[in-house]
Amino acid sequence: MDITNNRVAVYIDGLNLYNGSLARSPYKWLDIKKLCAALLPNEKNIVSISYFTALVKNAGFKDGLQRERQNVYLKALAKNCPDIEIIKGQFIRNKKIMQIAQVTKCGSCEEEHIYKNSKVCVWRNEEKKTDVNLSVRLIHDAWKNKYDHAVVITNDTDIMEAIIAVRENCSPHKLAKKVGFIAPTTVGDRHPARSLLINTDWHKEIKISHLAISQMPDVIVEGHLFKPVEW
């Protein structure tokens, strides 16, 4: 990976970063700018950082305060890293009929009362627009020749076609762009997506050490904002 003398633009899929590296970790109070500096050599070449996220709904979470914590975090991020652009999508919550994947046995009689072909109605939370917003911005900025080298922090293959377009020369300047991706694979047994590996110029994985050195102060004095005690 060589980004020397290149204008570097960073695009971050917030939900993918959370699920892949931050969930069940003590490092949710993340300073995105510090993380980019920890992950990228010659970070002074970074010309823009775009963070794509969506406001979660409290329904479905244990304490019902997930959205409040997220709001505090986004406000703290905006105060602590004012040059980062935050682009918001949305969450929708719908009822959906889904098939049961596993047989459930009665605890007392050991009889199988629910069969694999049974269906149940469940609530399903889905994030909308984040991958679309990221893909459009990636192509738009290439078209406007705003960067030489894009870095995408995600492991979501939905943005692959946008990456291919950028690398294959999608701009009127006839300048194909380099694209690297950084996979949030810290949580569990996760691996970088193969389709992203073969369609980018390089890849890297986020490690616990990157997260540990990339935390905001517990108190953002200017905004009177405090790191949630649960984090």
DSSP state of 140: H
**Residue 18 belongs to a domain:** yes
DSSP state of 20: I
**Residue 73 belongs to a domain:** no
Q: What is the pLDDT of residue 129?
A: 76
Q: Which pair of structure tokens corresponds to residue 28? A: 């949710």
| Amino acid (1-letter code) at residue 71 | N
**Residue 111 belongs to a domain:** no
**Residue 19 belongs to a domain:** yes
**Residue 101 belongs to a domain:** no
Q: Which pair of structure tokens corresponds to residue 109? A: 């009689």
Q: Which pair of structure tokens corresponds to residue 177? A: 């762009």
Q: Any residues with CB less than 8 A from the CB of 110 and at least 6 apart, and which?
A: none
Q: Which pair of structure tokens corresponds to residue 222? A: 């200017």
**Residue 117 belongs to a domain:** no
Q: Which pair of structure tokens corresponds to residue 205? A: 């994985």
Local confidence band at 66 (pLDDT 50, 70, 90 cut-offs): confident
Cβ–Cβ under 8 Å, residues 80 and 74: no
Q: By CB neighbour count within 10 A (0-12 exposed, 13-18 middle, 19+ buried), where does 147 fall?
A: buried
Q: What is the pLDDT of residue 97?
A: 73
Tokens 């005690």 sit on residue: 229
Residue 180: other Cβ atoms inside 10 A: 21
Q: Which pair of structure tokens corresponds to residue 66? A: 């997930």
Packed helices 130-143 and 160-167: angle between N→C axes, nearest 10 degrees: 10
CATH code (residue 165): 3.40.50.1010
Cβ–Cβ under 8 Å, residues 50 and 10: yes
pTM for this entry: 0.83
Q: What is the pLDDT of residue 170?
A: 62
Per DSSP, the three-state class of 174 is coil
**Residue 22 belongs to a domain:** yes
Q: Structural domain tally of the chain?
A: 1
d(CA 177, CA 151): 11
Cβ–Cβ under 8 Å, residues 81 and 119: no
Least confident of 10-14, 88-92, 109-113, 195-199: 109-113
Q: Which pair of structure tokens corresponds to residue 210? A: 């990157």
**Residue 70 belongs to a domain:** no
Q: What is the mean pLDDT of the chain?
A: 86
Per-residue pLDDT tens for 74-126? 999 999 999 999 999 865 666 667 677 666 565 555 555 555 567 766 656 56
Domain boundaries, position 51: 8-64+81-90+126-217
Cβ–Cβ under 8 Å, residues 165 and 135: no
